Chains A and B, each alone.
Chain A
Amino acid sequence: MSADDESFHPLGHEAAYEEAKKNAGGFAEMLKSLGGDGEDSRRGVMKKMGAGAAVGIGAWGTTQGGDEPSVSAAEAGGSETTEQGDTQWGMTIDLERCDGCLSCVKACAQENNLDQGVNWMYVLQYEDGGPDSSRNRLVRPCQHCTDAPCEKVCPTTARHTRDKDGLVLTDYDVCIGCRYCQVACPYGVNYFQWDEPDISTEQIEEAHSDTEGHMMTDERGRWVDSRAPRGVMSKCTMCPSRQDGFSGEEKVGTSACEEMCPPDAIQFGDMKRETSDPQRYIDNPARGRALVEMNSSLPSTSGLEENLSGAGSDLESVLEASEDLDEELLTVMKAAEIVTENFGEDDADSVQYEEAILEVFDVLASHGLDLGSQEVLVELELASEPDEDEEFEGADEEAAQEALVDYSGSPSSNFKLLEDIGTNPNVVYFGNEPGPTAHQTETPVAYSDMEADRADGGSIQLVDNRKDVLDEGTVGDFGVSL
């Protein structure tokens, strides 16, 4: 190789790199201009919105943005969204708090008008070879994977990740019903609409006539929410109509299942924000649990005020006088405050628990009890007594954390389902991870014991195994299996 050749190469590489960059831009631009969905979506918008033309036009305006995930996917040569938004909706699910009541399954069926057996949310009890399987439960919504295999295999881009908030959704107007997404999903969260759904779009529209998008069309004007029409795929959506604010501002950052969970085992929120419910739960699950658990035991402020009138203001007198406040509870309340930055601030759902605690603290403070004082903290074992020549160091975070763990327990582990497959799920579980031989047993509450109300005014019994329903439509059911 000559000297000329050597000097030529680096230049060549650089030039090629520049050229590639230019082309990449050009290619992306070309793709954007091709944006195949415009016409379809617009028609969909008009259809869904009916007379709400202004809304329709607004949605049309954002449709261009709706194409972006596909475009960036093409650019990256993978299905990952490269231009991610600032939000990634996701969940933590505390399996040790789940009591298997199926409220979430029912809530989801109601919210989305699902057919029998279409359990977008599914709860199961399982045995895993251990001596005690009473706490072995799994709550299984769609994992809304960051690297969703269902999206990667989709031949149409119907299955896509919404750019602004990372939700993995199905565009019901684009899906061709090949079912490859269901084939590729490792978790089995997809439910195909094999026949005409029970509840018509008109019925859903009527039931949500005041709601923008009628709980079907999202803010981009794409039909991605509620039960699927015939011949296309459906799965848990994590409630895009709520996240778009169509159900009211207070429902943003909530999901139907989370809302209806009696033990508050599900924390829904933005996985990218440190102060969101799921992230707070991940940071300190004992704190999260304690907040939920003590919430039902908190004394009412009026009752407490009544109890305290005339009582002394030292800790002992206060505890003696109040009916619903004992030392343990007060310790945990204070412990929660000690371990939390910005206690009672921010807009996570769990902040309401913190506010309730602060209200109680206010009553105690106005009664004259200083919860931050050395005397009280030491008494509650949330600080250690300083030696004579030492200064008081204030509350001891470690002791506070211990108090929380003592009160609510700490989960045995946290995990993401089948993490080694590389899907990067956005659901984080607390509790036991089912092993490779784990197998489902009966839930404490049977699916058939649950009824879900739907938009037609009627209600249905939930069905565990959908095949029982589908078999009725099979032409020539031989009653045997391969």
Chain B
Amino acid sequence: MSTKTPSEEDILRPINTFTKKYVALYAVSALALGAFLVAWAYQLQQGLIVTGLGDWGSGGGSTWGLYIGAFIWWVGIAHGGIILSAAVRLLGMDRYLPVARLAEMLTLAGLSAAGFYILVHMGRPDRMVTSVLGHFHITVNNSPLVWDVTVITAYFVMTATYLGLTLRYDVHRLRDQLPDYLEPVYKIMTIGYTEKEDEVIEQMVWWLALAVIIMAPLLLHGGVIPWLFSVLPAMPAWTGAVQGPQFLTIALTSAISGVILIAYAFRRAYDWEHIFTDDIFRGLLLWLGFFCLLFLWLQVQQVVNGSFLGPTNKSVATDAKIGHPVYLFSMGLVSATLAYIFAQAIRPSLFSKPRAIVAGLAVLTGTFLEKLLFVVEGFLHPTFDIYAATPGEYFPSIIEWLSLVGTIGMVVLFFLSLSKMVPVVELHAIEHLNEDHAHEDTTAATEQEVKA
């Protein structure tokens, strides 16, 4: 496997092949997205009453639910993706260079899904521009939701710039092997390109990566997204400074899991064993384990502080959390993954790619469920819980579940479509791998051991 030399042809294979499996996956994903679009149209026609949501308080419901939970989940995946990619570039972690672009693309896809959720969640999505942008200069001073939209937009622009800049290098060099029908797209992408810019671009990308890393804890999933909840004093299930770091760990675990799944899919589909090597999966898994550990550590902090001794509102909320089967299940998934990663680190023979896939799926399921419950439990156990109808009831309706299926379909479609247009692995990564090959023939033996 690792004896093969990665070539330009390899990374162009997704663009220049067209298989039945591709069509089938495309159709299934389109169907998933289509089904949700129909459901959304129905929701637009009928109103948000088609959801399982309601008014907290005397109304016995939950104001926000799966839409917001899934929104956070997707933003987390997206933010984690760009942090991963930035770390690779900034810290020179060349080992992961082959998956850096996948992580960036995952960021764009995840942000798109999250942005879509904002619209789906609104009572009057038609007013987004007039009401939100029209008052931006006032509301940005106060509203965490406006900070949120601002930062998500900023990150979308940054990531798209980042990806666009690095793609120029590849597209220019591989132009002859790219399909002609996309000529206009490539022309726009490489407009004004000269080889002299490479060095400048490299510096720009480094600075962008630095900005991403610095802003990650301050603004991304360590900042504005948790602040949506953590700054509200009357909802003890949400409030508190731990939410910032907690959300950041969720973003990173989710994103690494996402990258593992996507990288594995590409590896299988296009015989990229020599590009997405076992070594990369093992490394990603270790990082996943590290962030799972942080995730669980912060969960323990919350639960211990909430349940040891009052105040009443906090202990009611914490008791409800630790007794909730969904919470226990999601913590169980992350704990089991951590245990597996720890075990395979000690005993390498326990590693296999299917197991890595299961670990990734387990973490993504765990973080999704944790986020869904997190959003809802704020409404179920507010400080002012005098109402007989509080805690209220909430279970996502079919339309809400369909939104999850639909956005997953949307993200898969995003990758399927993008992979037909541009290389999902950087040319730099191939060049780098080939350099390594020249130097590291002697280490091939160790890689053989690792093979599952």
Contact = CB atoms under 8 A, between A and B. Distances in A.
B122 A178 contact: yes
A190 interface: yes
A125 to B, nearest CB: 9
Contacts of B142: 73, 78-79, 152-154
Interface in B107-130: 121-125, 127-128, 130
Contact of A194 (B48, B234, B324, B384): B48
A126 B123 contact: no
Interface stretch (A10-18, A155-163, A290-298): A155-163
A124 B138 contact: no
Contacts of A179: 63-64, 123
A175 B387 contact: no
Given A77-B141, A176-B128, A183-B63, A138 B386 contact: yes
A2 interface: no
A475 B386 CA distance: 29
Contacts of B55: 182, 188, 190-192, 466
A474 B397 contact: yes
Interface stretch (A87-95, A308-316, A368-376, A438-446): A438-446
B123 A188 contact: no
Given A439-B386, A465-B59, A71 B138 contact: yes
Interface residues on B, range: 35 or more
A440 B135 CA distance: 40
A152 to B, nearest CB: 5
B61 interface: yes
Contacts of A233: 123
Given A180-B145, A475-B50, A156 B389 contact: no
Interface string B46-84: 111111111111111111100000000000000000000
Given A230-B123, A464-B58, A156 B63 contact: no
Contacts of A480: 395
Contacts of A65: none
Contact of B134 (A36, A124, A189, A436): A36
B139 interface: yes
A348 interface: no
B450 interface: no
Contacts of B59: 117, 188, 191, 465-467, 470
B240 to A, nearest CB: 15
A155 B138 contact: no
Given A174-B131, A188-B57, A465-B58, A152 B387 contact: no
A26 B64 CA distance: 39
Given A73-B141, A74-B141, A155-B145, A194 B395 contact: no
B141 A465 contact: no
Given A73-B138, A152-B142, A155-B145, A473 B50 contact: yes
Contacts of A153: 142-145, 232
Interface residues on A, range: 35 or more
Contacts of B233: 186, 421-422
Given A186-B383, A470-B49, A482-B394, A475 B399 contact: yes
Given A438-B386, A475-B397, A174 B127 contact: yes
Nearest to A171: B131
A71 B141 CA distance: 11
A384 to B, nearest CB: 47
A231 B124 contact: yes
Q: Does more than half of chain A's interface fall in helix, strand or loop, or is it mixed?
A: loop
B241 interface: no
Nearest to B393: A481
A12 B202 CA distance: 42
Contact of B124 (A149, A232, A467, A479): A232
Given A34-B137, A480-B395, A178 B145 contact: yes
B131 A175 contact: yes
A149 B39 CA distance: 33
A392 interface: no
B392 interface: yes
Q: Indicate the member of A34, A155, A473 with the most B CB atoms within 10 Å.
A: A155
A188 B390 contact: yes
B430 interface: no
B61 A40 contact: no
Nearest to A78: B142
Given A157-B139, A194-B47, A464-B58, A481 B395 contact: yes
Given A156-B131, A179-B63, A195 B123 contact: no
A155 B383 contact: no
Interface in A418-473: 418, 421-422, 434, 436-441, 464-468, 470, 473
Given A180-B143, A194-B47, A481 B394 contact: yes
Contacts of A182: 55-56, 63
Interface string A138-179: 101000000001001111111000000000000000111111
Contacts of A465: 58-60, 388-389
B135 A482 contact: no
B373 interface: yes
Interface in B332-346: none
A232 B57 CA distance: 18
Contact of A418 (B383, B389, B394, B395): B383
Contacts of A440: 386-389
Given A176-B122, A464-B389, A482-B395, A186 B131 contact: no
B135 A70 contact: yes
B122 A188 contact: no
Contacts of B387: 124, 188, 440
A8 interface: no
Nearest to B313: A436
Nearest to A423: B234
Interface in B351-393: 372-373, 376, 378-380, 382-390, 392-393
A246 interface: no
A193 interface: yes
B326 interface: yes
A441 B57 CA distance: 14
Contacts of A421: 233-234, 383
Contacts of B141: 73-74, 77-78
14 contacts: A77-B141, A78-B142, A149-B234, A156-B135, A176-B125, A186-B383, A188-B59, A231-B47, A231-B48, A422-B233, A464-B58, A467-B54, A473-B49, A479-B395
Given A192-B63, A192-B123, A194-B48, 9 more contacts: A70-B138, A117-B59, A188-B57, A188-B390, A195-B47, A436-B311, A436-B312, A478-B52, A481-B392
Closest 7 CB pairs of A and B: A177-B123, A188-B57, A231-B123, A476-B398, A186-B234, A473-B49, A440-B388
Interface of B: 39, 42, 46-64, 121-125, 127-128, 130-132, 134-135, 137-139, 141-146, 149, 232-235, 311-313, 324, 326, 372-373, 376, 378-380, 382-390, 392-395, 397-399
